[in-house]
Structure 1
Amino acid sequence: MNDDGIDALIRAARRVAAGERLTGDLLTQEKVPARLRLLLAATALTAANLPVSKRAIVDAAPAAWSATYRNHAELLEDIKALVPDLVAAQLSLVGEMPTGTDLRRQLDQANASIEKERGLRAELEEEVRQLREYALTLHLRAKPEYDAMMAERQQKVRLLRPVGDDRDG
């Protein structure tokens, strides 16, 4: 076993992957050092875009609050202050990942854009309705005149019919 605790952490990870619940007892049985637990917890909180506070780190570790604070208070303060920047820098190496706040802002912008387009559509539909109504009114007004003009033309115009060749008979 390495004295850095990585082997112990891997053994605990195998147990969790096999279906065991992550608890402080499991990590204690595998002898995962508290310092490594705290570092991993802060990293997980930061990567999940959750607030990184001392209490949140200890809860996510999982570890006992009083013993952790008594034995690792300075480390806990350093982890809380420094790990979020380190994780953000590492994430930027693999490409920019949107945060929950970024996604919420994009969603709000999309909803505002949709609402604006719906309003514009409603205005245009009202304008088209008015144009249809106007066209129908004009049609109804012009129809009697048009019918009269067509009737007059029908009376004036003689219909021609083909005349057959009467030489034979």
Structure 2
Amino acid sequence: MTLYTIGILSERSGVPVKTIRYYSNRGLLPPAAISPAGYRLYSDQELQQLYRIVALRRLGASLKQIREFVHQDISLNDVLDRQLAAISQQVDTLHQLHRQIQGLQELQGNNDDADHVLHDFWSSDAVPLATAPRMVRRMVTPAIKSSSLVT
């Protein structure tokens, strides 16, 4: 069995050393062995595990979900089902925000008094309290970064 240092594992996988250490410290990627000098050593099995972890992170899985998957507490279908449900909820929230912005544009019309329009809009029943700007920013920012609009 070939063993790799964390630096070699990083080179082979394209994952930064710092990230590999983080996953290792969190119990997601324990080393296959520890060298006499105290270095973490990884085999091809851990390399495959790292690929699984990175793939699940790219799908938006939480570290908790990945840990459950790695420890075989949940299946891949469970992780994917949870992600689909979360994404569906985010899409619904974004559609609601889209409708609200369109409504605000209609309210604005030719009115130059932005404060008045915003006050009327936010004090109306059209805006549920659950649509918090911070929540929307967390959902929208990754989509904007990955879109072709950002160069």
Alignment TM class, shorter chain as reference? under 0.3
The structure whose Rg is larger is 1
**Structure holding more strand per residue:** 2
The alignment's TM-score, normalised by the length of structure 2, stands at 0.27
